[in-house]
Structure 1
Amino acid sequence: MNILVFNVGSTTLKYACLDAETEEVTASGLVDRIGQPGGDAINHVMAAKIAIDEVGLNNVGVIGHRIVQGGDLFLGPTLVTTDVLSRLRTLDTLAPLHNPAARSVVEGLVEIGTPQVLVFDTSYFASLSPAAYRYAVPEDWYQNHAVRRYGFHGTSHQYVTEKAIQFIGGNDESRIISLHLGGGASATASIGGLAVDTSMGMTPLEGLVMATRSGDLDPAIVLHMTEHVGMEPSDVRDALNRQSGLLGLCGDPDMRTVLDRRKTGDPAATLAIDIYVRRIIKTIGSYIAILGGLDALIFTAGVGQHSPEIRWLVCESLQHFGISLSEDKNQACCEETADISAPDARVRTLVVDTNEELAIARLVRNTTTRQA
């Protein structure tokens, strides 16, 4: 049986078809600039059908979907039914940039009759305690309006954490911090493969500085911009999600370009990197305090895997925690999983190649096996 995995972004659709037994990728691709002038598709449903045409529907036994937000309604992979789709619609407002697009694909493919399984970014964080996921807001907000931390990038964090534990010969007490640093960025603290804290919150806006998202900020800033500056709430939301982060600080969301500008002495790019790195360091320090120590620090995703400079800047301020890099290993890193720690480091620092499509396929396979 082949599993076709869809990973829907706001204007993209990545897909991969994997053999359920061998886990070999038989086809993969990207439908880009969806709904934009000159794009590959007018909407996400058409993008999915382009992918299916490329793969061949007869070659697909089940379709797996990455869904960003499962709320507290979906705590694990879920087979699509009419009732599931009804409940899924209620979560659109919790992830407005991602869930509606992904849901439209699921609904648009119901007619083809192929079983579909939803895999949620939030599922890995079902193990968080109330002390980790509750906000200090009125009880009514939590009980009636679902205001709580959910966490995101969970499939990636789970995958790389499990790989790291295997790589270091760890166990169910291994203390791991994983940094998923891409266009979106998040950090997660885990013990033995179970999440205990994470940086993203009710939405993917909270936490680290990202390509275009602000990350943590004083919530009164929103009130200031709406009540005193006169911005519409929708405009503030758009600014914090699409015009902030690296883009807001220096005018460019691409980490590679920002680093190049920093090397030339560009003050805006230098400040952007300083703020980006400082936020990561603060998060790591707080997680070490919660974990009571650290066995391994993981870098993954586009920036985490491919930027030796960011890894070095993050780790050089953490040597008092036992985190220290080998300069040669850090620069040469290109393996799927690599240990870039200095020989005398007390904490193992790893670069792990995340593979969300494979992780999703495994969860889909396990779910359909149980349903059979």
Structure 2
Amino acid sequence: MKIVIINSGSSSIKYQLIDMPAKVVICRGMIDRIGLETSNFSYKTNQNSIEEILPILNHKVGLEKISTLLMDEKVGVIKSTSEIDAVGHRVVHGGATFSDTVLINEEVKEKIKQLFELAPLHNPANLEGIIVAEEVFPQAKQIAVFDTAFHQTMPEVAYRYAIPNYLLTENKIRAYGFHGTSHKYVSEKAIAYLENSSKIITVHLGNGCSITAVKDGKSVDHSMGFGPGNGLVMGTRSGDIDQAVIFYMVNSLGYSLNDVSTMLNKQSGMLGLTSHSDLRDIEANAEKGDPNCKLALEMNVYRIKKYIGAYAAAMNGVDAIVFTAGIGENSSFIRKAVCMDMDYLGIELDDYKNETRSKDIREINTPNAKTKILVIPTNEELEIAHQVYDLVLN
């Protein structure tokens, strides 16, 4: 069964063509820095590798370029769209409606659209991917896998807000959690690697960032909430903020609610602090002495450390810390800064191991450290492929 996986992030698209159940990746690639003049594009098969820097202004342009190359006469891997059996889509917010993988129809698309306000950087991109894929692969089954699904195991004490009860029972206002496909994948890999680990903190760091407490294989707490804007400092999102700031901006400074939403989701985080949203640019400028970039990195790290401490308390300990996603897997600087002065939790980083690179699971802790520090490359696409394959078969 040939399955195309489309994983649209807030400023990126990862894609793979996977033959299931053999798990053979026929083609893979990604686009990042979407919206900039210097977007990175890659397309790789066993025979060809294409890498370009070019302007990709939005997700639709990116998806159209991907689909064109898949069927290109010289470097393509399919001759006809009829060869594709299914397209699996990562969808960030499933709200109270979706807790499982579903076959996409008009009703599902409408519900995804209704959740735009709760995931303004993601659900629109996710729906755009679905609409383009329906045009490009009209005979394939379109299937949605929701980021919120893994966090359905959070206990009520973790997902409830201290607000009037009817807002939960009637309006479904609660913490849902996000990046679930990634947290599920890497936590399962960590458990298999460590064999008997029951308390794991998974740290997903990309343009969007989140952290999850995983106990006995289940999500028990998570940094994001009703929408994916809470928690850690992100590329363009503020993360945690006092709600009084929002009231003050609206009531005293004259901002509209739309203005505030735009600011907190698209103009804040690392971008608001430094004028850069990409961590590679921020690290480079910090090394040159830029005070805003240096402070932004310190704030980013400080927030991560606070959550690690909170989740260690919530689980009464921690067996392993897992770093994953673009920044978590590639930024040795961030990993070192997060793990510094954390010996009270048994976290001790090996500097040499931290600087090594690998596509495999690796430990970067010292030999005698009580808490393992793992770098596990996430593979949301493979996890999505598994869920799509299972749904199609059943």
Matched, 1:280 2:304: yes
> What is aligned with 2:6?
6
Asked if residue 78 in structure 1 is aligned to residue 102 in structure 2, the reply is yes
Q: Partner of 1:200: helix, strand, or coil?
A: coil
Aligned counterpart, 1:155 = 181
> What SS does the corresponding residue of 1:277 show, helix, strand or coil?
helix
**Aligned-pair CA distance for 1:251:** 2.1
Counterparts of residues 50-65 of structure 1 (less than 5 Å): 50=68, 53=71, 55=78, 56-65=80-89
Question: Residue in 1 aligned with 2:161?
Answer: 135
> Quick check: 1:299 aligned with 2:316?
no
Q: What do the CA deviations read for 1:326-351 (whole angstroms, capped 9, x no partner)?
A: 11111124242101111110011000
% same residue: 39
RMSD of aligned C-alpha atoms? 2.3
Tell me how far 1:260 sits from its aligned partner.
2.6
Cα distance in structure 1, aligned partners of 2:34 and 2:333? 32
Matches within 5 A, 1:151-230: 151-170=177-196, 174-230=198-254
Partner in structure 2 of residue 256 of structure 1: 280
Distance 1:227 1:77, change over 3 A: same
Q: CA deviation at 1:248?
A: 1.4
Closer/same/farther in 2, CA of residues 255 and 86 from structure 1, 3 Å limit:
closer
Specify the code of the residue in structure 1 equivalent to 2:5: V
- Note the alpha carbon deviations across 1:249-291, whole angstroms, 9 max, x for none: 1222222222233333332122111111110000000000011
Letter in 2 for 1:368: V
Residue deviations 1:293-340 (CA, integer Å, cap 9, x gap) = 111100011111111111111111211110111111111242421011
Tell me, yes or no, if structure 1 residue 334 matches structure 2 residue 387.
no
* 242, 247, 253: which one aligns with 2:266: 242
Seen in structure 2, the aligned counterparts of structure 1 residues 42 and 154 have a Cα distance that, compared at 3 Å, is closer
Residue 3 of structure 2 aligns to a residue whose secondary structure is strand
Residue of structure 1 equivalent to 2:337: 313
Give 1:270's aligned residue: 294
| Post-superposition CA distance 1:110-167 (Å, at most 9, x none) | 5613112110011100101111111112223323333211111110000000001111
In 2, are the aligned partners of 1:333 and 1:340 still within 8 Å (CA)? no
Cα deviation digits, residues 176-222 of structure 1 (max 9, x gap): 00000111110000012210000011111100001111100101111
Moved more, 21-30 or 195-204: 21-30
SS of the aligned residue for 1:145 comes to: coil
Q: Secondary structure at the match of 1:271?
A: helix
CA contact (8 A) 2:59 2:125 kept: no
Opposite residue 138 of structure 1, the aligned amino acid is P
Q: CA deviation at 1:357?
A: 0.8
User: What TM-score results when the alignment is normalised by the length of structure 1?
Assistant: 0.92
SS in 2 for 1:43: helix
Cα distance, 1:365 vs. partner?
1.0
Q: Which runs of 5+ in 2 are unaligned?
A: 38-54
What TM-score does the superposition give when structure 2 sets the normalisation length? 0.87
In 2, Cα distance between equivalents of 1:36 and 1:165? 38
Are the structure 2 counterparts of residues 236 and 321 from structure 1 closer, same or farther at C-alpha, using a change threshold of 3 Å?
A: same
Query: Does the 8 Å contact 2:276/2:282 carry over to 1?
Result: yes
Matched positions, count: 368
The 3-state SS of whatever aligns with 2:90 is: strand
Contact 2:232 2:239 (8 Å CA) reproduced: yes
Structure 1: distance between partners of 2:295 and 2:153 = 36
Contact 2:86/2:143 (CA < 8 Å) preserved in 1? yes
**Distance between the aligned counterparts of 1:332 and 1:15, measured in 2?**
26
- More off after superposition, 49-58 vs 332-341: 49-58
> Are residues 1:43 and 2:60 paired?
yes
How many angstroms does 1:87 deviate by?
3.4
CA deviation after TM superposition for structure 1 residue 6, in Å: 1.0
- Residues in 1 aligned to 2:267 and 2:210: alpha-carbon distance in whole angstroms: 18
Determine the structure 1 residue equivalent to 2:48. none
Corresponding position: 1:367 with 2:391? yes
Query: Which stretch has the larger CA shift, 35-44 or 191-200?
Result: 35-44
- Output the CA distance in 1 between the equivalents of 2:382 and 2:19: 10
Confirm whether residue 126 of structure 1 aligns to residue 168 of structure 2: no
1:18 deviates by 0.2
**CA pair 2-342 structure 1, distance change in 2 beyond 3 A:** same
The answer as to whether partners of 2:92 and 2:147 remain within 8 angstroms in 1 is yes
Query: Structure 1 residues 41 and 190 mapped into 2: Cα distance closer, same or farther (>3 Å)?
Result: closer
C-alpha contact 1:31 1:40 (8 A) present in aligned 2? no
Contact 1:13 1:48 in 2 (8 A): no
Contact 2:60 2:132 in 1 (8 A): no
Measured in 2, the distance between the counterparts of 1:351 and 1:24 equals 23
